[in-house]
Amino acid sequence: MKQFFTLFLILIVLPSLSWIYYNFSIAEPVDRVFLSISTFLYSIFTGFFISRQASRFNRVRETVTRFDGLMSNIYRTSGHISASLQTEIGIVIKAHYEKIFSSKQWNYHFTKKINHAVFNA
């Protein structure tokens, strides 16, 4: 249905509106100052919102990176205590990341509680 609507717009509506615009003078003359000011303000607001979204994305990326670094640090530090503890922690971390990869929920550790078998035992 969406494809037919797009096809209808491209083949019928756009050429019809173009023909009407160029053959009839129904529109008032465009004020160039108003058009320049509105274009300038639109570009400023658009740049502001894009910049804001980029900073939000960077914060999310930094938070995920900090969590991943913490998991790596816990795994490596546990190796100084005992090899068996490092193996157990490695199993838990691997199970956690396998759930993330299988569900494709990259914010899994922010939205879900820990429910691994090692912690529930």
Instruction: Look at residue 59 and tell me if it is in a domain.
Output: yes
Number of domains in the chain: 1
Instruction: Look at residue 22 and tell me if it is in a domain.
Output: no
Instruction: Look at residue 29 and tell me if it is in a domain.
Output: no
Q: What's the whole-model pTM score?
A: 0.53
State the maximum Cα–Cα separation within the chain, in Å, rounded to a whole number.
85
Instruction: Look at residue 23 and tell me if it is in a domain.
Output: no
Give pLDDT tens digits for 99-109: 888 888 777 77
Between CA 17 and CA 21 the distance in angstroms is 6
Indicate the pLDDT class of residue 2, thresholds 50, 70 and 90: low
Give residue 93's domain range.
49-121
Question: Taking 50 as the threshold, does the pLDDT of residue 87 lie above it?
Answer: yes
Residues in the chain: 121
Instruction: Look at residue 121 and tell me if it is in a domain.
Output: yes
Mean pLDDT of 114-119: 56
Whether the Cβ atoms of residue 73 and residue 88 lie closer than 8 Å to each other = no
Q: Give pLDDT, residue 120.
A: 46
Mean pLDDT of 52-78: 89
Instruction: Look at residue 6 and tell me if it is in a domain.
Output: no
Angle formed by the axes of helices 32-78 and 83-103, to 10°? 150
The gap between the terminal CA atoms of the chain, to the nearest Å, is 53
Instruction: Look at residue 120 and tell me if it is in a domain.
Output: yes
